[in-house]
Amino acid sequence: MNATVHQLLNQQINKEFYSAYLYLEFSNYFKSQDLDGFANWYFIQAQEERDHAMLFYTYLQNEDMPITLEAIDKPNFEWVDHMTTLEAGLTHEKYVTSLINAIYEAAYDSRDFRAMQFLDWFVKEQGEEETNARDLISKFKLFGNDPKSLYMLNQELAARVYSAPSLVL
């Protein structure tokens, strides 16, 4: 495996765990605002990010590549309001997309077809993650200022259940 690809894949483990921490922080915020559905939505997001980290971890193990785990930074986010939190989620997903794209580009440049195939799932997943974050913002803009509608949106988000990724390594 190309050294740059290996380094980027290893770094992505830490980035995915950070994403999980960030979304747990979002979940805590919404829980403190008595929006249990929003808290549930971000709690599940945290679970997904943790699983993404483990997929990168397992991939490197399967490739017999060393793994270096780093400290996970504490999320540094200032709580302004619900919309700011939702928008920060979309901004973060766009950032993660840029990270995945950079790894894919390095794999492409080094003709690491196995890594590219592995990353294909993440490219698709990031498209879905950005769409979900945008949809949540759109729904909040539509309903968030009306208490009854906010209650209904909160109930919709409470119904989300966790589903493990289907990527087979």
**Structural domains in the chain, sorted by start:** 3-158 (1.20.1260.10)
Question: pTM (2 decimals)?
Answer: 0.92
**Dihedral, CA of residue 133, residue 134, residue 135 and residue 141, to nearest 10:** 110
**Integer Cα distance of 79 and 22 in angstroms:** 12
pLDDT tens for each residue of 112-146: 999 999 999 999 999 999 999 999 999 999 887 78
* Percentage of residues in the chain having pLDDT higher than 90: 84
Reported confidence tier of residue 162, pLDDT bands at 50, 70, 90: confident
pLDDT tens for each residue of 11-33: 999 999 999 999 999 999 999 99
